[in-house]
Structure 1
Amino acid sequence: MIAHVGDFGLAKFLLRPTNSKESSSIGIRGTIGYTPPEYGLGSEVSTKGDVYSYGILLLEMITGKRPTNSVFEGGLNLHNYASMALPDGVMEIVDPKLLNNVDEVLGNHNGRLANKIKECLISMVKVGVACSMELPQERWDISKAISELHLVRDIILGARI
Protein backbone atom coordinates (compact mmCIF):
# COMPACT_ATOMS: atom_id res chain seq x y z
CA MET A 1 0.00 0.00 0.00
CA ILE A 2 2.78 2.45 -0.88
CA ALA A 3 1.92 4.70 -3.80
CA HIS A 4 4.72 5.95 -6.00
CA VAL A 5 3.76 8.87 -8.20
CA GLY A 6 5.85 8.50 -11.32
CA ASP A 7 3.99 10.20 -14.12
CA PHE A 8 0.66 11.91 -14.46
CA GLY A 9 1.45 12.70 -18.06
CA LEU A 10 2.97 16.04 -17.08
CA ALA A 11 6.47 14.94 -17.99
CA LYS A 12 5.41 14.96 -21.64
CA PHE A 13 6.37 18.47 -22.64
CA LEU A 14 6.68 19.91 -26.08
CA LEU A 15 10.00 21.67 -25.76
CA ARG A 16 11.26 24.53 -27.85
CA PRO A 17 14.93 25.44 -27.45
CA THR A 18 15.73 29.09 -26.91
CA ASN A 19 18.87 31.10 -27.56
CA SER A 20 19.72 31.20 -23.85
CA LYS A 21 20.28 27.42 -23.72
CA GLU A 22 17.03 27.00 -21.80
CA SER A 23 13.86 25.18 -22.65
CA SER A 24 10.34 26.34 -22.15
CA SER A 25 7.17 24.33 -22.12
CA ILE A 26 4.94 25.44 -24.95
CA GLY A 27 2.35 22.74 -24.49
CA ILE A 28 1.58 20.65 -21.47
CA ARG A 29 -0.28 17.41 -21.65
CA GLY A 30 -1.69 16.14 -18.41
CA THR A 31 -4.07 13.54 -17.22
CA ILE A 32 -7.56 14.98 -16.85
CA GLY A 33 -8.53 15.32 -13.22
CA TYR A 34 -4.95 15.25 -11.94
CA THR A 35 -3.64 18.34 -13.68
CA PRO A 36 -3.72 21.37 -11.38
CA PRO A 37 -6.09 24.18 -12.35
CA GLU A 38 -3.32 26.73 -12.84
CA TYR A 39 -1.82 24.72 -15.71
CA GLY A 40 -4.97 25.38 -17.71
CA LEU A 41 -4.34 29.09 -17.21
CA GLY A 42 -0.82 28.90 -18.62
CA SER A 43 1.14 28.73 -15.37
CA GLU A 44 4.56 27.12 -15.35
CA VAL A 45 5.06 23.57 -14.18
CA SER A 46 6.01 23.54 -10.50
CA THR A 47 6.32 21.32 -7.46
CA LYS A 48 3.01 22.80 -6.26
CA GLY A 49 1.41 21.20 -9.33
CA ASP A 50 2.94 17.87 -8.36
CA VAL A 51 1.52 18.27 -4.86
CA TYR A 52 -1.93 18.86 -6.36
CA SER A 53 -1.69 15.67 -8.40
CA TYR A 54 -0.53 13.75 -5.33
CA GLY A 55 -3.47 15.07 -3.28
CA ILE A 56 -5.95 13.99 -5.94
CA LEU A 57 -4.33 10.55 -6.10
CA LEU A 58 -4.58 10.20 -2.32
CA LEU A 59 -8.26 11.20 -2.33
CA GLU A 60 -8.92 8.75 -5.15
CA MET A 61 -7.30 5.93 -3.18
CA ILE A 62 -9.36 6.70 -0.08
CA THR A 63 -12.72 7.27 -1.78
CA GLY A 64 -12.38 4.81 -4.63
CA LYS A 65 -13.64 7.56 -6.95
CA ARG A 66 -11.68 8.88 -9.90
CA PRO A 67 -11.62 12.66 -10.35
CA THR A 68 -13.46 12.11 -13.64
CA ASN A 69 -16.31 10.15 -12.00
CA SER A 70 -19.72 11.09 -13.37
CA VAL A 71 -20.92 12.15 -9.89
CA PHE A 72 -18.59 15.15 -10.12
CA GLU A 73 -20.67 17.60 -12.11
CA GLY A 74 -21.88 21.15 -11.67
CA GLY A 75 -18.87 22.43 -9.76
CA LEU A 76 -18.50 19.35 -7.58
CA ASN A 77 -15.10 17.71 -7.85
CA LEU A 78 -13.14 15.14 -5.86
CA HIS A 79 -11.50 17.84 -3.72
CA ASN A 80 -14.84 19.46 -2.79
CA TYR A 81 -16.46 16.07 -2.22
CA ALA A 82 -13.77 15.13 0.30
CA SER A 83 -13.60 18.58 1.85
CA MET A 84 -17.34 18.64 2.54
CA ALA A 85 -17.06 15.30 4.33
CA LEU A 86 -14.48 16.55 6.84
CA PRO A 87 -14.43 15.56 9.61
CA ASP A 88 -17.69 13.85 10.57
CA GLY A 89 -18.69 12.46 7.18
CA VAL A 90 -15.38 10.89 6.17
CA MET A 91 -16.50 7.34 6.92
CA GLU A 92 -19.37 7.83 4.47
CA ILE A 93 -17.03 8.64 1.56
CA VAL A 94 -14.37 6.00 2.27
CA ASP A 95 -14.18 3.22 -0.29
CA PRO A 96 -15.92 0.20 1.30
CA LYS A 97 -13.02 -2.00 0.13
CA LEU A 98 -10.77 -0.21 2.62
CA LEU A 99 -13.13 -1.13 5.44
CA ASN A 100 -13.44 -4.88 4.77
CA ASN A 101 -11.33 -5.91 7.78
CA VAL A 102 -12.61 -3.09 9.94
CA ASP A 103 -15.92 -4.93 10.30
CA GLU A 104 -14.06 -7.62 12.25
CA VAL A 105 -12.59 -4.98 14.55
CA LEU A 106 -15.96 -3.34 15.06
CA GLY A 107 -17.54 -6.76 15.61
CA ASN A 108 -15.10 -7.31 18.46
CA HIS A 109 -16.33 -4.06 20.02
CA ASN A 110 -12.81 -2.68 20.13
CA GLY A 111 -13.88 0.93 20.12
CA ARG A 112 -10.40 2.31 20.74
CA LEU A 113 -8.96 0.63 17.64
CA ALA A 114 -11.99 1.57 15.53
CA ASN A 115 -11.52 5.20 16.62
CA LYS A 116 -7.83 5.06 15.65
CA ILE A 117 -8.76 3.75 12.19
CA LYS A 118 -11.31 6.53 11.78
CA GLU A 119 -8.77 9.10 13.00
CA CYS A 120 -6.27 7.85 10.41
CA LEU A 121 -8.77 8.04 7.58
CA ILE A 122 -9.77 11.57 8.58
CA SER A 123 -6.10 12.59 8.68
CA MET A 124 -5.47 11.11 5.26
CA VAL A 125 -8.45 12.94 3.76
CA LYS A 126 -7.18 16.17 5.36
CA VAL A 127 -3.81 15.64 3.70
CA GLY A 128 -5.44 14.97 0.33
CA VAL A 129 -7.61 18.07 0.63
CA ALA A 130 -4.70 20.26 1.79
CA CYS A 131 -2.59 19.10 -1.16
CA SER A 132 -5.32 19.63 -3.75
CA MET A 133 -6.33 23.19 -2.91
CA GLU A 134 -7.24 25.19 -6.01
CA LEU A 135 -4.68 27.94 -5.42
CA PRO A 136 -1.05 26.76 -5.42
CA GLN A 137 -0.06 29.04 -2.54
CA GLU A 138 -2.73 27.42 -0.34
CA ARG A 139 -1.39 23.89 -0.90
CA TRP A 140 0.82 22.17 1.61
CA ASP A 141 4.44 21.51 0.79
CA ILE A 142 5.05 17.84 0.11
CA SER A 143 7.30 17.64 3.19
CA LYS A 144 4.38 18.59 5.44
CA ALA A 145 2.10 16.07 3.70
CA ILE A 146 4.69 13.31 4.11
CA SER A 147 5.18 14.18 7.80
CA GLU A 148 1.44 13.91 8.39
CA LEU A 149 1.24 10.62 6.51
CA HIS A 150 4.15 9.25 8.57
CA LEU A 151 2.11 10.01 11.69
CA VAL A 152 -0.81 8.09 10.19
CA ARG A 153 1.48 5.18 9.35
CA ASP A 154 2.82 5.12 12.91
CA ILE A 155 -0.71 4.98 14.30
CA ILE A 156 -1.67 2.17 11.94
CA LEU A 157 1.49 0.20 12.75
CA GLY A 158 0.75 0.50 16.45
CA ALA A 159 3.45 2.98 17.40
CA ARG A 160 0.87 5.25 18.98
CA ILE A 161 -1.97 2.84 19.80
Structure 2
Amino acid sequence: MFTGKRPTDERFKEDSSLHSFVKEALPERVIEITDPTLLQERVGRGTRNGNNMRNESLLQCLNSIFEIGLTCSSDPPSERIDMGNVVAMLCSIRDKLHQTRFVRHVRT
Protein backbone atom coordinates (compact mmCIF):
# COMPACT_ATOMS: atom_id res chain seq x y z
CA MET A 1 0.00 0.00 0.00
CA PHE A 2 2.79 2.44 0.78
CA THR A 3 4.93 1.72 -2.28
CA GLY A 4 2.07 1.83 -4.79
CA LYS A 5 3.41 -1.45 -6.17
CA ARG A 6 1.85 -4.89 -6.30
CA PRO A 7 3.69 -8.11 -5.49
CA THR A 8 2.88 -9.15 -9.07
CA ASP A 9 4.52 -6.04 -10.59
CA GLU A 10 6.69 -6.82 -13.63
CA ARG A 11 9.80 -5.60 -11.84
CA PHE A 12 9.46 -8.43 -9.30
CA LYS A 13 10.58 -11.44 -11.29
CA GLU A 14 12.88 -14.33 -10.44
CA ASP A 15 15.06 -13.25 -7.49
CA SER A 16 13.27 -9.96 -6.82
CA SER A 17 10.14 -9.37 -4.76
CA LEU A 18 8.26 -6.51 -3.17
CA HIS A 19 9.75 -7.61 0.16
CA SER A 20 13.34 -7.45 -1.13
CA PHE A 21 12.63 -4.16 -2.95
CA VAL A 22 11.64 -2.51 0.33
CA LYS A 23 14.31 -4.24 2.43
CA GLU A 24 17.11 -3.09 0.11
CA ALA A 25 15.87 0.52 0.11
CA LEU A 26 15.53 1.08 3.85
CA PRO A 27 16.30 3.33 5.58
CA GLU A 28 18.26 5.60 3.24
CA ARG A 29 15.87 5.53 0.28
CA VAL A 30 12.49 5.55 1.99
CA ILE A 31 11.34 8.50 -0.15
CA GLU A 32 12.25 6.68 -3.36
CA ILE A 33 10.06 3.67 -2.56
CA THR A 34 7.10 5.59 -1.14
CA ASP A 35 4.14 6.13 -3.44
CA PRO A 36 4.37 9.83 -4.47
CA THR A 37 0.64 10.32 -3.93
CA LEU A 38 1.16 9.60 -0.22
CA LEU A 39 3.84 12.25 0.04
CA GLN A 40 2.14 14.93 -2.04
CA GLU A 41 3.59 18.16 -0.67
CA ARG A 42 4.53 16.88 2.77
CA VAL A 43 8.26 16.21 2.31
CA GLY A 44 10.95 18.51 1.05
CA ARG A 45 9.01 21.75 0.79
CA GLY A 46 10.27 23.83 3.65
CA THR A 47 13.66 25.03 4.68
CA ARG A 48 12.74 26.34 8.10
CA ASN A 49 13.69 24.24 11.11
CA GLY A 50 10.07 23.41 11.89
CA ASN A 51 9.45 22.05 8.42
CA ASN A 52 12.71 20.09 8.48
CA MET A 53 11.73 18.58 11.83
CA ARG A 54 8.31 17.59 10.48
CA ASN A 55 9.91 16.13 7.35
CA GLU A 56 12.33 14.12 9.48
CA SER A 57 9.49 12.91 11.67
CA LEU A 58 7.49 11.86 8.62
CA LEU A 59 10.48 10.01 7.17
CA GLN A 60 11.02 8.19 10.47
CA CYS A 61 7.35 7.20 10.56
CA LEU A 62 7.43 5.96 6.97
CA ASN A 63 10.54 3.96 7.72
CA SER A 64 8.83 2.41 10.76
CA ILE A 65 5.76 1.52 8.70
CA PHE A 66 7.91 -0.17 6.05
CA GLU A 67 9.80 -2.04 8.78
CA ILE A 68 6.49 -3.32 10.14
CA GLY A 69 5.53 -4.45 6.64
CA LEU A 70 8.82 -6.31 6.29
CA THR A 71 8.32 -8.05 9.61
CA CYS A 72 4.73 -8.96 8.73
CA SER A 73 5.88 -10.53 5.46
CA SER A 74 8.91 -12.38 6.83
CA ASP A 75 9.68 -15.81 5.55
CA PRO A 76 9.29 -18.14 7.36
CA PRO A 77 5.93 -17.06 8.81
CA SER A 78 7.08 -18.05 12.30
CA GLU A 79 9.25 -14.90 12.31
CA ARG A 80 6.26 -12.60 11.80
CA ILE A 81 5.10 -10.42 14.67
CA ASP A 82 1.78 -10.77 16.44
CA MET A 83 -1.00 -8.57 15.03
CA GLY A 84 -1.65 -7.09 18.47
CA ASN A 85 1.91 -5.78 18.45
CA VAL A 86 1.43 -4.47 14.91
CA VAL A 87 -1.63 -2.50 15.99
CA ALA A 88 0.24 -1.04 18.98
CA MET A 89 3.18 -0.04 16.77
CA LEU A 90 0.92 1.56 14.16
CA CYS A 91 -0.97 3.47 16.87
CA SER A 92 2.34 4.76 18.20
CA ILE A 93 3.30 5.97 14.72
CA ARG A 94 -0.11 7.64 14.33
CA ASP A 95 0.30 9.39 17.67
CA LYS A 96 3.75 10.64 16.67
CA LEU A 97 2.35 12.05 13.43
CA HIS A 98 -0.53 13.76 15.24
CA GLN A 99 1.88 15.24 17.76
CA THR A 100 3.95 16.70 14.91
CA ARG A 101 0.85 18.25 13.36
CA PHE A 102 -0.19 19.73 16.72
CA VAL A 103 3.23 21.33 17.22
CA ARG A 104 2.96 22.89 13.76
CA HIS A 105 -0.41 24.47 14.56
CA VAL A 106 0.76 25.79 17.93
CA ARG A 107 3.83 27.44 16.39
CA THR A 108 2.00 29.12 13.52
Structure of larger gyration radius: 1
Equivalent residue letter for 1:69:
D
CA shift, 1:108, in A, is 2.5
Equivalent in the alignment of 1:133: 74
What is the TM-score when the length of structure 1 is the normalising length? 0.58
Equivalence for 2:2: 62
**Residue 39 (structure 2) pairs with residue 73 (structure 1):** no
Letter of the 1:98 partner, please give it.
Answer: L
In structure 2, how many angstroms separate the alpha carbons of the residues matched to 1:107 and 1:132?
A: 33
- For each residue in 1:62-90, what CA deviation from the matched residue of structure 2 results, as whole angstroms up to 9, or x when unmatched? 10001110010122111111111111111
- 1:88 maps to which residue? 28
**Matches for 1:1-161 after TM superposition, within 5 Å:** 61-103=1-43, 106-109=44-47, 110-158=51-99
- Looking at structure 2, the residues matched to 69 and 107 of structure 1 have their Cα atoms a distance apart, in angstroms, of 30
User: Matches of 1:70 and 1:135 in 2, distance apart?
Assistant: 24
Segments of 5+ residues of structure 2 without an aligned counterpart are 104-108
Higher helix fraction (1 or 2): 2
- For residues 138 and 96 of structure 1, the distance between their equivalents in structure 2, rounded to whole angstroms, comes to 30
Question: For 1:136 and 1:108, how far apart are their aligned partners in 2?
Answer: 41
Q: Which runs of 5+ in 1 are unaligned?
A: 1-60
- For 1:101 and 1:68, the matched residues in 2 are separated by 29
Greater per-residue strand proportion = 1
Partner AA of 1:67 in structure 2: P
The TM-score with structure 2 as length reference comes to: 0.84
Question: For residues 1-22 of structure 1, what are the alpha-carbon distances to aligned partners after superposition, in whole Å with 9 as ceiling and x for unaligned?
Answer: xxxxxxxxxxxxxxxxxxxxxx
Identical columns (%): 34
Give the number of equivalent residue pairs: 99
In angstroms, what is the RMSD of aligned CA positions? 1.6
